[in-house]
Amino acid sequence: MQHYFYIFTRRDYFMKQSSWNKHYDALTKTAPLPAATLSFALEQFNKEHIDPAQKTAIDLGFGSGIDSMALLNDGWNLTAMDKDATAIKYLRQLALPHYAARLKIIHKSFEEIALHPALLINATFSLPFCVPQHFPALWKNIRLALQPGGRFAGQFFGMEDSWRAREDMTFHTPALLQELFTGFSVEQMEETKREGRTVGGALKHWHVFHIVAQYR
């Protein structure tokens, strides 16, 4: 529960910032906890006592690198990707050279990447920023990359979100999400609606689905 509320604190901070740079800086200094969705997924894997050699993860849109660092600290081999040059720089500073043997950092956008097989794909508050035209291809890549028994952890934005009119972002109804997660066991699904600040300080309505699901 503590992590769950933390997510909001973390996003509120992000929305008050005028640039990704300030966002990453603030997060790495003030909020080192991973997203609740990722924490839950890691707990599930730990209960399953998986072979350490199988611990292969991808962090999509890693941003501040907090989730990436949690994955590395938990022993995962990680591919972390983001399209933002500042994020790339921050993660290099945070994780290298200590984790060089288990970390691959990729500076690419969702539209360009090919995903390798992984037991865990994490996408904390990043997939809604994929353009709608590309989302089906991205999701297909995610499904193809996930190994049987693997998990997806991340967020989707709902139709009541204030940013719904933005043409460069992707939003989902519960029915669309159900379709996306066909073939998965949904282990955690929380829908939240709340008011919060945007970049520039305006009030915005947040409509978010927090999901952890295991691929069968």
Ligand X SMILES: C[S@@+](CC[C@H](N)C(=O)[O-])C[C@H]1O[C@@H](n2cnc3c(N)ncnc32)[C@H](O)[C@@H]1O
For ligand X, the binding residues (CB under 6 A) are 14, 20, 27, 35, 61-64, 66-67, 82-84, 87, 109-110, 124-126, 129-130
| 80 versus 119: smaller Cβ distance to ligand X | 80
Cα dihedral 146/131/211/68 (nearest 10): 70
| 58 versus 146: smaller Cβ distance to ligand X | 58
| 62 versus 76: smaller Cβ distance to ligand X | 62
Whole-angstrom CA distances from 173 to 121, 152, 156, 164, 209 are 21, 18, 9, 11, 9
| 82 versus 161: smaller Cβ distance to ligand X | 82
Query: In whole angstroms, how close is the CB of 20 to ligand X at the nearest point?
Result: 6
Contact 6, 40 (CB under 8 A): no
- Nearest residue to ligand X on Cβ basis: 63
Contact 153, 37 (CB under 8 A): yes
Query: In whole angstroms, how close is the CB of 39 to ligand X at the nearest point?
Result: 12
Owner of token pair 């894997």: 45
Residue 167 carries which DSSP code?
Answer: T
Residue 116 tokens read as 């390798």
Residue 208 DSSP SS3: strand
Query: In whole angstroms, how close is the CB of 216 to ligand X at the nearest point?
Result: 26
| 123 versus 180: smaller Cβ distance to ligand X | 123
Query: In whole angstroms, how close is the CB of 53 to ligand X at the nearest point?
Result: 26
Query: In whole angstroms, how close is the CB of 73 to ligand X at the nearest point?
Result: 16
